[in-house]
């Protein structure tokens, strides 16, 4: 199941750190998403992008995950050569991942 079908997301930046909050619409899907959207999974999906530590903070009562990725913005908004130097588009990078739902 593509995440975009069951969740919404928003990306922001501070320095060279990107955070993407991911909100699962139906609480019945939340635990499957939480179990599969892990730092290890993200690291293996985006090895050339998320270069530093990755943390995932859970807000269970809101069915939300906050992905915090260090060294993910090619140096940050004032150093990056990326057209999207803020990484605003990263929310849809994550929503493009798929998860298994029972």
| Chain residues 42-61 in contact with another protein, contact rule CB under 8 A | 46-49, 55, 57, 59, 61
In the bound complex, what is the minimum distance in angstroms from residue 40's beta carbon to another protein? Answer: 17
DSSP3 helix / strand / coil % (the chain, rounded to 5):
30, 30, 40
**Dist CA 64 CA 71 (whole Å):** 23
Contacting residue, 1, 4, 43, 71, with another protein by CB under 8 A: 4
31/88 with CB nearer another protein: 88
40 near another protein, judged by CB under 8 A: no
């Amino acid at each position: 199941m593509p995440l975009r079908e069951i969740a919404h997301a928003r990306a922001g930046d501070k320095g060279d750190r990107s955070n993407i909050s991911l909100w699962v619409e139906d609480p019945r899907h939340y635990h499957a998403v939480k179990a599969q959207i892990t730092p290890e999974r993200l690291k293996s999906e985006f090895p050339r992008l998320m270069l530093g530590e990755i943390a995932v903070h859970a807000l269970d009562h809101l069915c939300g995950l906050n992905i915090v990725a260090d060294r993910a913005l090619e140096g940050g908004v004032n150093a990056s050569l990326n057209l999207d130097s803020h990484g605003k588009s990263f929310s849809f990078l994550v929503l493009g991942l798929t998860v298994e739902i029972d």
